[in-house]
Structure 1
Amino acid sequence: MFNPINLKSVLAAGLLAAVAGSPALAEKLRLGTEGAYPPFNYVEASGKVTGFDVEIGLELCKRIGVECEIVTQDWDGIIPGLVAGKYDFIIASMFITEERKKKVDFSDPYYLAAMTHVVPKGSDITSFTNASLSGKAIGVQSGTTQADYAEAMYPDADVRLYPSQDEVNLDMANGRLDLQVGDMLPMLDWTTKTNDGSCCALAGEPITDPEFVGDGVGIALRQEDDELREKLNAALKEIRADGTYQAINDKYFDIDVYTMK
């Protein structure tokens, strides 16, 4: 005699067996970065995207138990790309500023930040005021806090905006600029470790005004992604505590960029 209860039991058991036998799909996130900001993020000749930002990001992915795909995006569109869902978080040396907080949320800082002036070696520029730089050609990457700073502080200068930091550096090395404003660590790396950067040197005091450098450098996330932000914050604390962060740091820098010491 047909027993509907037994049939339901058989179907339920078969469904459970099918689920149990199916391979679990790994959760995957997309990590957005610029890919044009060495030594923090850049593309090797092989096409691999790497750098301090990328290595830290991939380690954080590992600690929260997800696989991460690297997505590169030009700087001008990097926040719109996050908001539009092109990637799930940004780790690209982005200063945590009040203006950016209107559009995205941030993790805890994963390193501290300062900006600097860069001038050609032998330059007679020693003062960094609007009056002293009036008419001078100043290069900055567009859409950055460096651009905000140069335009606000030097309204009488010829502030020139470039799509990428590499293009600023190129014009600086070729003598087309009187100076530039950039993030201190990449500028230190460029002026001391590259052939074209040997043209130039850091000048003046570090620029640490919180209005422009914010609260450090953080991972940007969509404002609704609270759970992901908290997981990344916990993972960041973990890699700081167990020495993993320091090991990655030491591949790229002579100081601890988390403390700037």
Structure 2
Amino acid sequence: MQNGTTHQKFITDKHPEITTVPYDSYQNAKLDLQNGRIDAVFGDTAVVTEWLKSNPKLAAVGDKVTDKDYFGTGLGIALRQGNTELQQKFNAALEKVKSDGLTSLSITNGSRSNAE
């Protein structure tokens, strides 16, 4: 797992029986996984999903981890303070998403599905 991430804290706190190897980047963890130097990588769903698309020798296992105490209930987006042009463009894009009804969709493993 990537060093200093919420994923690392979750595994350390919830599964102390697992021997972890912290990496400075997901890419280095992926290389060690592909070359058999580690058994698994625990990381961000979007990142891992992309790996699976490009490497048929890798597979997802287990259920998606959604512990709200560690991973919250969604994602946040931050913009540089004072960048009003970007903020206006971003807000316009959000309004478009809302008006198109896309907020009722969720993204799962790279494909859209209707949220319940």
- Structure-2 separation of matches of 1:199 and 1:260: 30
User: Structure 2 matches for 1:81-120, cutoff 5 A?
Assistant: none
Which one has a bigger Cα radius of gyration?
A: 1
Assess, with a 3 A threshold, how the Cα gap between structure 1 residues 226 and 154 changes in structure 2: closer, same or farther.
farther
- Structure-2 separation of matches of 1:170 and 1:161: 13
Equivalent residue, structure 1, for 2:36: 175
Equivalent residue, structure 1, for 2:6: 145
SS at match of 1:199: coil
Q: Tell whether 2:115 aligns with 1:254.
A: no
Assess, with a 3 A threshold, how the Cα gap between structure 1 residues 148 and 231 changes in structure 2: closer, same or farther.
farther
SS at match of 1:255: strand
- Structure-2 separation of matches of 1:208 and 1:200: 22
Assess, with a 3 A threshold, how the Cα gap between structure 1 residues 165 and 154 changes in structure 2: closer, same or farther.
same
Equivalent residue, structure 2, for 1:237: 94
Assess, with a 3 A threshold, how the Cα gap between structure 1 residues 239 and 147 changes in structure 2: closer, same or farther.
farther
User: Structure 2 matches for 1:37-116, cutoff 5 A?
Assistant: none
Equivalent residue, structure 1, for 2:46: 185
SS at match of 1:190: helix
Larger fraction in helix = 2
- Structure-1 separation of matches of 2:40 and 2:115: 24
The higher relative CO (CA closer than 8 Å, separation ≥ 6) is in 1
- Structure-2 separation of matches of 1:174 and 1:160: 15
Equivalent residue, structure 1, for 2:72: 214
Assess, with a 3 A threshold, how the Cα gap between structure 1 residues 184 and 144 changes in structure 2: closer, same or farther.
same
Assess, with a 3 A threshold, how the Cα gap between structure 1 residues 161 and 239 changes in structure 2: closer, same or farther.
farther
Assess, with a 3 A threshold, how the Cα gap between structure 1 residues 231 and 210 changes in structure 2: closer, same or farther.
farther
1:237 partner amino acid: L
Equivalent residue, structure 2, for 1:83: none
Please identify runs of 4+ aligned residues in structure 1 that moved more than 3 A. Answer: 225-228, 230-236
Equivalent residue, structure 2, for 1:159: 20
Deviations 1:24-75 (A, max 9, x none): xxxxxxxxxxxxxxxxxxxxxxxxxxxxxxxxxxxxxxxxxxxxxxxxxxxx
RMSD after superposition: 3.1
2:64 partner amino acid: P
Q: 1:226: Cα distance to partner?
A: 9.2
Assess, with a 3 A threshold, how the Cα gap between structure 1 residues 214 and 236 changes in structure 2: closer, same or farther.
farther
SS at match of 1:203: coil
Larger fraction in strand = 1
Q: 1:179: Cα distance to partner?
A: 1.3
Unaligned runs of 5+ in 1: 1-139, 247-252
Unaligned runs of 5+ in 2: 104-109
Q: How many residues align?
A: 107
